[in-house]
Copies of this chain bind each other. A is one copy, B any other.
Amino acid sequence: MNYPRSIQKLIESFSKFPTIGPRTAARFVFYLLKAKDEDVDRLVSSISDLKKNIKTCSLCFNTFEAEAEICEICSNSGRDKKLLCIVSKDPDLMALEKLKIYKGLYFILGGTVSALRKKDIEKLRFKELKERLKKDPGIQEIIIATNPNTEGEATALYIERILAPLNKKITRLGRGLPVGGELEYADEETLKSALEGRK
């Protein structure tokens, strides 16, 4: 016996959500069956309106919601136009913005490459990145803020390679021991960075 077709269809849709398997998807459906009509209606209209309301900034590819063509960060005259931070995705930009210490601009690459296959590379905004830097000669430092894992490293190396001809200062986020970490259990590269980056 299976769940009724309408439930089954929705379980399938929710199972495509990141990290969600069929069991949790089924819990979502039963949650919706019990939810108030107004909550379900709000969810439906929020999903329906999402793509209509949300624009992608033509400069940094950040998502935003306004009449304008470019996002609040790019159009903010108070930001430091000499700094460009390259992140792989929106939540990484949000994580950096929350710190309230970075005042430069961003560029969202749209993902990471695991291998340097043409197909993977074409999915990311490397071409747009090069164009952006051509148009914006005032940028003096490019911060590559990809994750310090295998994919993030491969992506960073590829960015460094394609930006090398520009002769700009290129930096990477510092490595070291994270808050709460332990020397004894740190991997060697992390500990090496922590020792070399002592201050």
Can you identify 25 A-B contacts, CB atoms within 8 angstroms? A4-B54, A10-B47, A13-B46, A17-B28, A17-B31, A18-B24, A18-B27, A18-B31, A27-B91, A29-B50, A32-B51, A33-B63, A44-B48, A47-B47, A145-B195, A147-B177, A148-B177, A173-B194, A174-B175, A174-B196, A174-B198, A176-B177, A176-B194, A177-B178, A178-B181
A99 contacts across to B, CB distance below 8 A: 188, 191-192, 195
Pair B195/A147 contact, Cβ less than 8 Å = no
**Which of A35-43, A131-139, A157-165 lies on the face that meets chain B?**
A35-43
Are A195 and B183 within 8 A (Cβ)?
Answer: no
Restricting to A69-122, which residues have a CB under 8 Å from any CB of B?
A: 72-73, 87, 89-92, 94-99, 101-102
Which A residues lie at the B interface, using CB under 8 A?
A: 1, 3-7, 9-10, 13-14, 16-19, 23-24, 26-33, 35, 37, 39-40, 42-44, 46-51, 53-54, 63-65, 72-73, 87, 89-92, 94-99, 101-102, 143, 145, 147-149, 171-199
